[in-house]
Amino acid sequence: MGLIIIIADKEESLRFVFFLPESQSFIGVNYGEVANNLPPPADTAKLLQSTSISKIRLYGANPAVIQALAGTNISLVIATANGDIPSLAGDPSAAAAWVAANVLPYFPASAISTISVGNELLPAMQNLRLALAAKSLAGKIKVSTVHPMSVLAHFLEQTGGPFMINPYPFFAYQSDPRPETLAFCLFQPNQGRFDDGSKKTYTNMFDAQVDAVRSAVDREGFTGVEIVVAETGWPYNGDPSEAGAGVENARAYTSNLVAHLRSMVGTPLMPGKPVETYLFALYDENLKPGPASERSFGLYRPGDLSMNYDAGLAKSSQGKVQNLLFSALLLSPPLAN
């Protein structure tokens, strides 16, 4: 549900109707746990409820986090550990045990929507699907992975699971650090780029990367498979050698992406429907190895839950829009006859 604002003059001549959603079913966030300073799960649940984020993707099945989100209507993607995959692929009873331990105690109070499975995983996914079906949950909880392959697309089309991908315009900019590429990656004004294959003109890298996968999946004949962006983000900090990493670029990318999704325009190959997208990430993961950017994707600080930058996700920012609209109503003159 959301707020419907009808602005009219004193004589009730309609000016416009404005629908302001409290949350968007197509905007989610990733919750990584490679850190030693994360807040209690209950605090994370409260933080999420103060935002327009309606989905969260875990990289495991942390019971404390799953329990904390019970009754919040926040949809969860949970994941199997890589170490579980051999047994899940080779033994249906192992898949049944995994579902019994990680799904049944929490569902449906915790709104688990998808189980994401890691590498070379079709047998493991099939066994998890069978385990869910045995508990009459196959129609309610989907099974997916972030690894693309044609045989996987066949499984997903059969079961209704999403095809999960990780587009990162930030890394595309790293390989081509020109000003025009940065504008293209940040959804800023640019000349656009014409794609010879689709005969479409793209004004941002995100759409181009998503549609490249859409086109590849369609060529395999799987036009009914839904594309889901499992990860995308921009680091607010990085090493001196990491071109483009910084607060202003992170704010521009994330806030413009959120606005792009909310516009409902879709992509050139999928117009009129926003792609379900999980932002990376809710918090920084301070124990991640690698360059500084790897530890600098968080939207919020784990210590005090304040924003690293404002991406327009807080419900309070929507309240500001409401106040501006009502002020405009009070201050504007009557419509001319």
CB 329 within 8 A of CB 321: no
Q: Are strands 24-31 and 53-58 parallel, antiparallel or unpaired?
A: parallel
Residue 320's CB: how many other CB atoms inside 10 A?
Answer: 10
Instruction: Check if 231 is active-site.
Output: yes
Query: CA-based angle 248:241:295, to the nearest 5?
Result: 65
Phi-psi bin for 68: left (phi > 0), alpha (psi -120 to 50), beta?
Answer: alpha
Q: Which two tokens stand for residue 37?
A: 């300073």
**Active-site option among 231, 242, 276, 285:** 231
**CA–CA separation, 125 and 128 (whole Å):** 5
Q: What is the separation, in whole angstroms, between the first and last Cα of the chain? A: 35
**CA–CA separation, 83 and 281 (whole Å):** 23
- Taking CA atoms, 123 is separated from 84, 132, 293, in Å, by 12, 14, 35
**Active-site option among 12, 22, 33, 120:** 120
Closest CA to 30 of 164, 211, 133: 164
Q: Please, which residues bridge with residue 319 across strands?
A: none
Query: CA-based angle 123:125:127, to the nearest 5?
Result: 70
Instruction: Check if 12 is active-site.
Output: no
**CA–CA separation, 81 and 78 (whole Å):** 10
Query: CA-based angle 233:217:133, to the nearest 5?
Result: 90
Residue 262 DSSP code: H
Query: CA-based angle 143:145:151, to the nearest 5?
Result: 90
Catalytic residues: 120, 231
